[in-house]
Amino acid sequence: MKFFDHPERDILKKEIEIINGHNGSSYFGIQPVRVIDFSDTNDIDNVAKMESAEISIEEDDVDQYLTPFLDKYFDNELEANKKRIDYCSDADNISYVCGFEWYITHNFYTHNSIKNMLNDIRDTMNALSSGRKNEFTDKLKEKRGWATFQLCYAKGWTEEQIKKYNDNRPKEDDTEVKLIIDFYERFIYRMEYMIKVGEEKGYNLISFMGP
């Protein structure tokens, strides 16, 4: 979660960032796509991308606020996902990517699955604002992302310092509910726009690709 610096926005407003267009580094790219060759949907030349509608979200924010929804609606049996070839070090050892892949791989979702996901997000927004529980509210309280990783080594740190750090790693997310709801509102708007323009231009899938 970062301060979003944009000339048309309040630069002091703290929010969970959604960036227009592509941002490299540690950001997920999300955009409408269509497969033009199913022989290997992990090959960038085989997937047409609608880059004009792309958004980028930092991977820790994807992990914390979107992972429960992405996991539920990821379809490993969708042809586009089944045909993601992973070329291993041995040229003859070709395997397929299984499950949601975090790094530099398309994770494909149909428009219907995205619509169902957005309905779950709307219900979660209502649950968060009213104090009600649904299948996602407890998952959203679990702290995920890099801050939760166990530290094995740090230059200049003693074993005691490393143990103290690991013992005090954050276990629960303390983001204000209003910030999460604000993020979901903007995310829903952008995803609905992607579906609309994608359908108009013949892009039938949405891709989530990690850094």
Proportion of the chain above pLDDT 70, given as a percent: 79
3-class SS of residue 2: strand
Positions in the chain whose pLDDT score sits under 50: 1-12, 149, 151
pLDDT at 54: 98
DSSP annotation string for 76-102: TTSHHHHT-EEE-SSTT-EEE--S---
Bridge partners, residue 108, by sequence: 207
pLDDT at 22: 92
pLDDT at 41: 97
CA distance linking residue 154 with residue 79, whole number of Å: 43
User: pTM of the prediction?
Assistant: 0.83
CA 69 vs CA 23, 153, 174: distances in Å: 22, 33, 19
pLDDT at 5: 39
pLDDT at 89: 52
pLDDT at 169: 58
Give the chain's end-to-end CA distance (angstroms, integer): 17
Angle at 181 between CA 56 and CA 174, to 5 degrees: 90
CA 99 vs CA 63, 95, 162: distances in Å: 15, 13, 33
pLDDT at 11: 46
Reported in sequence order, the residue ranges of the chain that DSSP labels E, i.e. its strands, are 2-3, 14-15, 19-20, 27-35, 47-49, 55-58, 85-87, 94-96, 106-110, 205-209
pLDDT digits (tens, 9 = 90+) for 50-106: 999 999 999 999 999 999 999 999 999 999 999 999 876 555 677 889 999 999 999
